[in-house]
Each structure stands twice: as structure tokens, then as C-alpha cells.
Amino acid sequence: MPIVIDHLSHTYSDGASYLVALKDICFTVNEGEFLAIIGHTGCGKTTLVQHLNGLLLPGSGRVLVDGLDTADKKLRPRIRSLVGMVFQYPEYQLFADTVREDVAFGPKNMQLSEAEVALRVSEAMAMVGLSMEAFAEKSPFELSGGEKRRAALAGILAMRPKYLVLDEPMAGLDPQGRQSILSMLEELRKQTGCSIIMVSHSMEDVARHADRILVMSRGEVKYVGTPQAVFSHNEELEKLGLSLPAPCRVAAMLRARGIDAPEDVCTREDLEAFLLRRLQK
């Protein structure tokens, strides 16, 4: 079963004033898909994803995770075992004396046996490319920035979530670090079949990796669709303050000069394939 967001609205209030953060949001996260969520700063992306495992509760509407309603307090432990949340700077989630202890924290809270906890720690660290021999007994605070993110992600993966939610997981990383994390996520999806829901400001990243993109503006969903379908709304996206992926911009410039570049070009591979076809004519 999928995650169903059904007419979700959310309002922040301090008693004297209020802010409507989400307005009548409806969409579904399909099993095994890579869904990217984009939008300008303050549009409600983080508020939205914090509803997916019950960190925030709807003001109105419902969020159902495999049929389980996040509003039901008794169901939230089960929901949070299904939906793993990785925050914007995941290294800030690290706290234990060793990487092994940090990764083991979630499985221990699930009251698993020591043998099962050890298995999951080893499995999760292998998934993120941190060997037990080199990293298990290290302090998390001795790791590099990229290694810290991998360790924090391992702590979530050790709980074997069905859905993995990441809020700007590449923030502050250089291009090589970003690509390393994205490649790891793709491999993880192949190995486990988990769904990935990722908030991102990088149009190139989402164009290349996402199955679908959800575009938000002022707390509302503006578009949901494939990268090709979403980035075909180039003028509308620019009005929302979103820059198109570089290949989309190049294709648009070619069309403006009378060259019949397809409207659905949104990755470097798409653009290279078109140019190669042109050269071969």
C-alpha cells in the first residue's frame, strides 16, 4: 500500500497570529518510487514531509501510511518504523560515542534481539559504504562531512524503513559528495525496494534521479508528474522562482534559434542524444 495524503492542511499559530503552511494537499507516494519535492524557500516542503511519519499532525485532512492514520497515537510507533526521516543536516542527528552505537540506537528501540541488532548495524553500514572494520568503533564526530551523513543515514536504514524521507540531504556538500549520496540512494532503492521522498533545491539532481516531481508554492501543490512533464512548464516554474535544469535551458535556447530541440529534454543524456541525432542527419 502507498502513502496517501488526503486534503492535508496545516496551520502554525502562536496564539496571537497564524500562518497557513499547507493548503488542501492531495497526492500519493507509490511503493518503490523516487519522488522529489521542489519549491522556493518557505513554500511548505519541510512542513509537508514532517507529516509523513507523524512528526506533525494535520490541521485537517489525513495522512495514511500503508492504511495507518498518523492521527492515531497508538499507530505512530509502527508508522515511524515504516517511514525513516533524514533531516537537512543529518550529521546533527549523531550523538553516541561510536558509529556502531549510533547506528544501533533505532533497532534497539524496536526491542530487537542483540543478534538482530548486530545484523542490522552491519547490513546498514555496508549499504552506505562504511566498513565495520574501519568505522564501527570510531567516534561519529571524527568522521568527515560525507561520512557523517552516511553514518546518520545508516542509523535510519538499520530500522529497514519502507519509505525513506530526506530533507535536503546534500545541503552543503560539494558536487562529488552530492553525487556520492545520490548514487548510494539509487543503489539502496535497487537493493531494498524502498520508496525515496527527497526535498531538493537542485533541479539537475531531481531531473536525473526522480521518477516523479512534486512542485510546491505557498503551501499548495502546483504540479505533480514526471521530470519531463514538470519541466515542460518552464515559464510557470521561473515565475515560481525555480530555475530549470541546465539541459532544459540549453534546449529552450536552441528552440528560440529555430532548432527543433524536444520539449521533454531535461537531463544531460537527453540533450546529448538529441545533439547526436542532429549530427548524424
Where do the domains of the chain lie, and which CATH numbers do they carry? 3-244 (3.40.50.300)
At residue 174 the predicted structure's pLDDT band, cuts being 50, 70 and 90, is confident
Q: What are phi and psi of 266, to 5 degrees?
A: -145, -5
Q: What angle do CA 94, 44, 201 make, to 5 degrees?
A: 65
Q: Is the pLDDT of residue 53 over 80?
A: yes
Q: Following CA atoms 31, 37, 43, 47 in sequence, which dihedral angle do they give, to the nearest 10 degrees?
A: 40
What is the C-alpha to C-alpha distance for residues 162 and 75, in angstroms, rounded to an integer? 16
The answer on pLDDT for 165 being more than 90 is yes
- High-pLDDT (> 70) share of the chain, %: 100
- Describe the crossing of helices 114-127 and 175-192 by its angle, rounded to 10 degrees: 130
Residue 184 pLDDT > 90: no
Query: Which range among 142-146, 161-165, 194-198, 213-217 shows the weakest confidence by mean pLDDT?
Result: 142-146
Residue with cell 489525513: 62
The residue ranking higher by pLDDT, 233 or 88, is: 233
pLDDT beyond 80 at 90: no
Q: How many CB atoms lie within 10 A of CB 97?
A: 12
Mapping DSSP to helix (H, G, I), strand (E, B) and coil, where does residue 200 land? coil
Query: 195 pLDDT exceeds 90?
Result: yes
1 pLDDT above the threshold of 80:
no
Q: What is the pLDDT of residue 262?
A: 86
pLDDT value of position 238: 87
Mean pLDDT of 134-140: 94
Q: How many residues can be counted in the chain?
A: 281
pLDDT of amino acid 211: 96
- Which pLDDT belongs to residue 223? 95
Whole-number Cα distances in Å, 248 to 35, 189, 208? 20, 27, 12
156 CB-side CA count, 13 A:
28
Segment 64-77 mean pLDDT: 95
Instruction: Quickly state the pLDDT bin for 10 (edges 50, 70, 90).
Output: very high
Arithmetic mean of pLDDT, 190-216 = 93
Count Cβ atoms within 10 A of the Cβ of residue 48 and give its class: 0-12 exposed, 13-18 middle, 19 or more buried: buried
109 C-beta neighbours (distance < 10 Å), count:
12
Written as nine digits, the cell of 221 is 501543490
- Phi, then psi, of 99 in degrees rounded to 5: -60, -40
Q: Cell numbers 507529516 label which residue?
A: 51
- Res 16 pLDDT > 90: no
